[in-house]
């Protein structure tokens, strides 16, 4: 197998295709983070090698995902943003600057733990080629987040390269988003099944205003017994198909990490976006996340409302901005919770069984058995 650059085609089945519907609010047309106008997503997927681990050579089961916050340059046109940590055994670079300024100035990159450095460096290079003043008049601090894929991947090696990061950034597009074993989610596990990348969205009406909340997750967490699907204890019903170690003492830890990216076109301040991050935590709880000791549960939210973007070089003393009244945010909270919950479950459903280093295998959740359990609990609904 060779490295592949995943496009947003070849889409896998999703939760709603199985007749399982989360929450009460309507999704956007794509039920994806790209329902938020201007948001673009790209993946580069790195898969090569089979059999015994040869450190530094493979097998590789990894990748990188890029999220552009709007249709233009985030460096030229910054957006309000906030980052929140549920449990901090993980990394998201640039957090201190986002906390300080309440602004996001780069695309968001999501990859594996040991590829944060190359993704950071490549993002600087990619931005510098488009903005020659970077490194002379301006500095830039990319936002790069990670989860660990060492059960399937040659995790100590640098299989994600600058070329892969460029490919993810350059291929990012509006439209359907590939899910499951793609991009940064390629080698991830979720509740003892194969995990990966997932997305979902919700559309809300506030008086005469229509807004969208979209979520993208890289899911690599959860103990099997904790898995909930629309409140049903699926993890207690499907107890087999646990990850199979091909080597002694290779079983993964009982929990890993998750990255949650929340996008909206509602005009929100960075303080209000922090409130959305905390509601994203509730969405994680609804699928059974408990944020164990070794879990890095990191959430980032941004608003790309045009009226709240900050143009680099704008030297006005007073900058105008708009924000939704706090008293009208309840439905955005609900939208964030529902979309986060469904994004995780879409990652679970879209993922395919994968064998990686030394024969270690993570199994996909069986769709037919999931449907049988949901029907038995009276939670199987008609498909969209």
Active site residue 295: yes
Q: What is the pLDDT of residue 248?
A: 54
Residue 174 located in a structural domain:
yes
Residue 218: inside a domain, yes or no?
A: yes
pLDDT over 90 at 275, yes or no: yes
Cα–Cα distance between 104 and 300 in angstroms, integer?
10
Using the predicted structure, report yes or no on whether residue 9 has a pLDDT greater than 80.
Answer: no
Q: What is the CATH classification number for the domain harbouring 79?
A: 3.60.70.12
Residue bearing the bigger pLDDT, 44 or 9: 44
pLDDT one-digit tens code per residue, 153-166: 999 999 999 999 99
C-alpha closest to that of 98 among 350, 239, 312, 302:
302
Which residue is catalytic, options 154, 230, 270, 297? 297
Tokens at residue 244, please? Answer: 């199979």
pLDDT in tens, 324-342: 999 999 999 999 999 999 9
- Residue 307: both structure tokens together: 């009226």
Active site residue 257: yes
What residue has token string 């009406």? 205
**Residue 113 in tokens:** 């733990």
Q: What is the predicted pLDDT for the residue at 256?
A: 86
- Over residues 92-103, the mean pLDDT reads 98
1 is written with which tokens? Answer: 């197998």
Decide if 5 is inside a domain: no
Residue appearing with tokens 């030229």: 76
Query: Is residue 317 in a domain?
Result: no
What φ, ψ does residue 223 adopt, rounded to 5°? -85, 140
Residue 284 within any structural domain of the chain:
yes
Question: Is 2 within a domain?
Answer: no
- Domain span including residue 199: 15-312+322-375
Q: Is the pLDDT of residue 372 over 90?
A: yes
Segment 286-295, tens digit of pLDDT: 999 999 999 9
Q: Which of 115, 257, 269, 303 is catalytic?
A: 257
Omega into 146 within 30° of 0, i.e. cis? no
Query: Beta partners for 218?
Result: 197, 259
Q: Is residue 142 part of a domain?
A: yes
Cross-strand bridge partners of residue 146? 111
Provide the domain count of the chain. Answer: 1
Kindly name the residue from 77, 115, 295, 303 that is annotated as catalytic.
295
15: its two tokens: 């939760």
Please indicate, yes or no, if residue 10 is contained in any of the structural domains.
no
């Amino acid at each position: 197998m060779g490295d592949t650059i995943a496009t947003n085609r070849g889409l896998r089945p999703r939760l709603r295709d199985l007749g399982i519907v989360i929450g009460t609010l309507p999704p956007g047309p794509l039920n994806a983070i790209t329902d938020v106008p201007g948001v673009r997503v790209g993946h580069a997927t790195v898969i090569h090698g089979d059999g015994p681990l040869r450190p530094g050579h493979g097998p590789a089961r990894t990748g990188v995902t890029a999220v552009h916050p709007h249709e233009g340059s985030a460096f030229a046109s910054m957006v309000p943003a906030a980052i929140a940590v549920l449990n901090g055994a993980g990394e998201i670079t640039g957090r201190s600057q986002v906390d300080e300024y309440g602004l996001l100035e780069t695309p968001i990159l999501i990859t594996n733990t040991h590829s944060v450095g190359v993704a950071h460096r490549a993002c600087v290079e990619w931005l510098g080629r488009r903005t020659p003043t970077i490194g002379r008049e301006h500095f830039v601090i990319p936002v790069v987040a990670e989860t660990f894929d060492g059960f399937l991947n040659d995790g100590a090696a640098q299989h994600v390269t600058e070329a892969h990061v460029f490919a993810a950034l350059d291929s990012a597009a509006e439209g359907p988003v590939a899910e499951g074993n793609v991009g940064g989610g390629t080698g991830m596990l979720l509740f003892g099944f194969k995990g990966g990348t997932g997305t979902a969205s919700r559309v809300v009406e506030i008086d005469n205003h229509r807004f969208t909340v979209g979520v993208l997750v890289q899911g690599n967490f959860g103990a099997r017994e904790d898995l909930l699907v629309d409140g049903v204890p699926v993890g207690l019903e499907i107890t087999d198909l646990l990850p199979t170690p091909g080597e002694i003492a290779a079983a993964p830890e009982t929990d890993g990490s998750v990255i949650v990216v929340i996008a909206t076109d509602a005009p929100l301040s960075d303080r209000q976006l922090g409130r959305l991050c905390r509601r994203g935590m509730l969405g994680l709880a609804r699928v059974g996340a408990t944020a164990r000791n070794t879990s890095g549960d990191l959430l980032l939210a941004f608003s790309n409302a045009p009226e709240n973007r900050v143009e680099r070089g704008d030297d006005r003393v007073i900058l105008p901005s708009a924000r939704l009244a706090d008293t009208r945010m309840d439905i955005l909270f609900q939208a964030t919770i529902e979309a986060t919950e469904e994004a995780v479950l879409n990652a679970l459903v879209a993922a395919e069984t994968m064998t990686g280093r030394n024969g270690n295998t993570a199994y996909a959740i069986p769709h037919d058995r999931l449907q049988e359990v949901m029907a038995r609990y009276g939670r199987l609904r008609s498909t969209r």
